[in-house]
Structure 1
Amino acid sequence: MQTQSAHSNSLPPSALIFDSGVGAISIAREIRQLLPGLTLHFGIDNGFYPYGSKSEAALRPRIVEQASAMMARSGADILVVGCNTASTLALPQLREALTKPVIGVVPAVKPAAAATRTHTIALIATEGTVNRNYTRDLIEQFANGNRVINVPAPELVHLAEAKLRGETVTAADLEPVLHRIFHTAGGDKVDIAVLACTHFPLLRDELNRYAPRTIQWLDSGAAIARRVQWWLGELALELPTSPAQGLLLTSAPDSDGRIAGAFAEFIPGASYVAR
């Protein structure tokens, strides 16, 4: 992959954060906190949402096609794949298709393995990520002999999006997922839960509040932000003190304005449809 940026002096440095839904917000908040001057664009493949329920054969070419088109439309210097499903499926293909740096989201198994004191970790993800060979290989390589309990939690995606719409997430909403974490074999020993979907950190406060005991909820957001910072240095891109107006690109019309509303904290303007 080329490391020279095709960055134009007339444009401020920018990154495109790609996802099928609004989970990318959790990554964007970490990036904005660390790099407040970086312009953020968002590429949302809402026409194929949710990724977690689609087949690998359908997803790989779709992800490459949509992310590539949105990178071209935005002119971003860096692509951040703000979706665990897309990252576990298509990072090699994206890096082959694009000349710009591609940063993926990897479940935080390695730091969880280093931090656990009970040697028992819960990995909370969509069903697709839980069952994917990539995830199994990640656990085998980085769990360091610790027990990893896989917890499929597809309902958290919808609950996170409901929270962003202003709806209240209750203890009853989260009880099925919490039961799968704490009331399964070995669940009494879990001291760290890896939030292996970018939607899930949006529910960190509620998960912490309603869990039967205190544990650590770990995600990759801060690490992704540091990786973006590293690439900006590699590309010799200096940030201004404040970001420019970003773009919100969608693969299908945002007819009810929910996506634009969710990203309003970053992009108060209109949504543009990427064809």
Structure 2
Amino acid sequence: MTQSVLFFDSGVGGLSVLQQVRLHSQPLNLRYVMDDAAFPYGTKSDDELAHRVLQVCLNAVNQLAPDVLVIACNTASTLTLPALRQILDIPVVGVVPAIKPAAKLAQQGHIGLLATPATVERLYINDLIQDFAEHCKVDRFGSSELVYWAEDFLLNGDPVTGLKDHLQPWFDQFPQMSHVVLGCTHFPLLKPQLHQHWPHIHWIDSGEAIARRVAVVLEQEQGQLSTTQCNSGPPGSISLHWTSEQKQQIAAQQFLQQLGDLTEASQLHLAEIDRLSPDASRGADNNPEPGSE
């Protein structure tokens, strides 16, 4: 039986992670859930977000019955991974910014972190830098604009006109930066334009690392064939689900149709979850996902 992986994000950012899993771990049935009814997450409190992420993810797991859940959102990962792992009886893989590999690759020892304003200020970022990049100079840039631009770009396909003006002052301030970590899963969707404007920068995200982690988890849990053997089979199906009242999510559908057979596109109906205890709706900033490094 073909295994199933469920990806969760507030919007389209997690599609960048799903794409890497599709490339590296076939055959799999892939289910993508976007909590667009609560988008953007950056305007909400941690308590509100933690409860919301748990509610949507538990509903999605109950309805779609995946073998693995991937929280393809840095904010949601840091807030809810411990609780989800406590509540669910399937493996849960999270995402943290790829600071560790960037620090290894940066020969001049100067890296940047490009993420949402909330992410760059979180305590777990300090922990990642202390644990894996203490020998580096790490400069941070928080941007909410890139989240919206990534969503618009996926929908319309038009180049982002404000990208150069938005980021160039940062690069001018720190000209020695050689590697920049894309610390939001939305940002890799803009990689072609980032490469075009700043070809000397090495842009690093967690997509491939997550794909490798998912392959290992599936093999451990189900005793499946190796990734190399799996890649020789048919790719499996893809489905899309969202939480708002909108009848169509055209941009996400078009993106997924390019990756394979999109068998379903439908709204995810949310019910109250009885399994949420007061402590279960709170995560831990100091518990990043080691596999995403």
Q: CA RMSD in A?
A: 1.8
- Conservation of the 8 A alpha-carbon contact between 2:4 and 2:30: yes
The Cα shift of 1:50 comes to 1.2
Do 1:122 and 1:181's aligned partners in 2 also have CA atoms closer than 8 Å? no
The CA deviation string for residues 191-239 of structure 1, in whole angstroms up to 9 with x for no partner, is 000000111111111011012x511000000000000110111011355
Partner of 1:115: 105
Within 2, Cα distance between the matches of 1:271 and 1:237?
A: 30
Please state if 1:255 is matched with 2:247. yes
SS of equivalent residue, structure 1 residue 68: helix
Retained in 2: the 8 A contact 1:46–1:251?
Answer: yes
Shift in Å at residue 74 of structure 1? Answer: 0.7
- How far apart, in 1, do the equivalents of 2:210 and 2:91 lie? 13
Give the gaps of 5 or more residues in structure 2. Answer: 271-293
Question: Could you tell me which of 154, 164, 182 is aligned with 1:175?
Answer: 164
Determine the C-alpha separation between the residues in 2 that align with 1:232 and 1:154: 34
**1:217 paired to 2:223:** no
What is the CA distance between 1:129 and its match in structure 2?
A: 0.6
State the identity as a percent.
36
Match of 1:201 in 2: 188
Cα deviation, 1:3-29, whole Å, max 9, x if unaligned, reads xxxxxxxx5201000000001111011
Within 5 Å, give how 1:34-183 maps onto structure 2: 34-170=24-160, 172-183=161-172
Which structure's relative contact order is higher, taking Cα pairs within 8 Å and 6+ residues apart? Answer: 2
Distance 2:249 2:5 in 1: 23
Aligned to 1:72, the other structure's residue is in SS state helix
Counterpart selection for 1:12 from 2, 12, 18: 2
Quick one: which amino acid aligns to residue 163 of structure 2? L
Q: CA deviation at 1:53?
A: 2.4
CA distance in 2, matches of 1:218, 1:97: 32
Residues 1:273 and 2:268 aligned together: yes
- The one of 192, 195, 212 equivalent to 1:226 is 212
- Structure 1 residue ranges, 4+ long, deviating more than 4 angstroms after superposition: none
- Relative distance call for 1:140 and 1:183 in structure 2 (3 A) is same
The CA distance in 2 between the partners of 1:177 and 1:149, in whole Å, is 16
Quickly say closer, same or farther: Cα 1:16–1:256, change in 2 above 3 A: closer
Letter in 2 for 1:118: Q
Deviation at 1:246, TM superposition (A): 3.3
Describe the SS at the equivalent of 1:129: helix
Count, aligned residues? 261
Question: Residues 235-274 of structure 1, C-alpha deviation per residue, up to 9 Å, x if partnerless?
Answer: 1135582244333222222335334344333525322323
Instruction: Kindly provide the amino acid, as one letter, of the partner of residue 175 in structure 1.
Output: K
> Residue 234 of structure 2 aligns to a residue in which SS?
coil
Contact 1:124 1:151 in 2 (8 A): yes
